[in-house]
Structure 1
């Protein structure tokens, strides 16, 4: 095995089906060719490292290696938009995550997500009604007409972004999400320029919104982040900026892929789509299996080691670049029986689809609820849905992997 397998994973030609490459990687649980990153591809080793305090998410702890494709894309923050807590280590990470969680989840706001259920259902119904109302709903692009607008509308409402500004986040989100992708063929200067421009525009927009909310709080999450008091004090303006940007970008990009990958999988397995239509309660375990089978975040290429660490008999030196291939771990036959089969009845689905450890997905409760509502309602209302392209066209991003479009034919749309 050579460094070439990493470039194959990152190459767009592998986007539709990277799983054979992951299978090849698992033959060497800790892959390192002497120049590039250390790549971990097996379930138990990945999960152990996600819980290991000797693993850092802060790029300042990384000793650059020339063979790491990620070094060709600048990941740093900017003067306007500093790194979020996702890219920090304890204690800074822990303090900011606690402060962010106060207005979002337990113990201080235990029902915030559940209380959105009715509103989320209304958004789903409205989007499907809009598709039904167009002249010829026989051909639908589920990404453009449903999977993208649903979660971006939800996260904007949660934070308090005015509806007329929601469309502006599409360009910012796509640009910043692309910066996560270690593309070896990208022009690093041009890429850095585009990323910095998006950070600047988003940062300036959010700064104005935060200032407005501090003067006139409206009860939304952004108001609470900007004015909230607690044991950890109050967030600075820069901390509110980076946290809001994280929630806006990461909070919808992963859900877009979860819903789209979910529908693609169900359309490829129509017997399960039919089951979901007649058994809406199946949506909850089905989402868990989808998070294992087709996770929206495929790999974490931004980790480094704070000390020498032994993994599967291999010593990884301090300061090394570490890639954790979550999607490969989710299909590790040493952890999951018949891992390449989609099985909503699979017991004990302790997947890595939302990460694990201190950096586990902050918005997991909301993402799960959005996906369950979306998939169950699409299954109920779309009459005889079927794929028009298989595989569909994918996004360039190998980290946040999902179709760019999902063309679907239907015979009709049932009334709400």
Structure 2
């Protein structure tokens, strides 16, 4: 039976929450630094990263929709060796920690820019707000949490997009930035950082879990039998009267909307820096960029930039904590309360702030760590979603699998090139 667009619209939301990972403070730092140092040179990286992100997030969501399992759960069932599961968990956990560092530091910097709050106290406030958001998720369910996150996404979009309309970029410069090229080791480092911030491993883990949680909760309203069917990983043919094909159709719209928003905002950040901060001294830090925007374009643009940064940190840190808990549960089969985990994962970020490490440098390097974690999430995702035994008729088409392999290969080669350039000092 054909369902109305309004009915399918109810299913939209998981990708918008997972998409917050593409708008975190690490993205802001990487894109601002790239625009300020190299102008429009790395526009192509943002565009390419967003195209790959659409495919990757859709595959992640599809895995959760069709099987009722998250990616960490699926891997936890298939990695037979306990030590193998622990090793895989360790690298995924390091990625999640790098995410936490970026998000908490970004929120702390924003509070400092807006209100003069010391960075350490700003980190504590950011962590406290993230705990509040996690309480909403754990007690209120998926939908209220999604509404809160989507509200923050709207603030992020306005905060980072406004400056591009006030001081628009050069069209010819943007066009030239679509050519694939680099300019030395540092530009490769920034490209890897942008990709690490755009295609975030924890977003791949989280999206499958968000889709699983949303549709499992919905199926439970149809009775215990439907809920049990989901938990066993059988295709959800009768979820609230909507077929799996209908769920996947809604999921494609969900991912498309989320990636359009994330890609546009990320591009706006880079273009804002390229058009207004290129060659300006001190703009390779978030504080310097804020000051330059304030002096060059006006206090309104600078203030909205800081507000967007704050919303970015608050929204993404809660999603990161959710992803980290799912990684541990799926791979180690250990459940740690979200709030307890949030307290523990705050420690590295607060330590960085307490010891006075440059926040922008920490943000950029955290995105490089994320970039190296991408293949460990992406390659298994492509393999699992191409598996007929797991997804049945909903497995990937050959061209989808080929695109996933191409994206994985590109990212692995880029990271290998980055490592070689760093080790040889070129």
TM-based fold match above 0.5: no
Higher percent of residues as strand: 1
Greater relative contact order (Cα < 8 A, sep 6+): 2
Higher percent of residues as helix: 2
TM-score by length of 1: 0.29
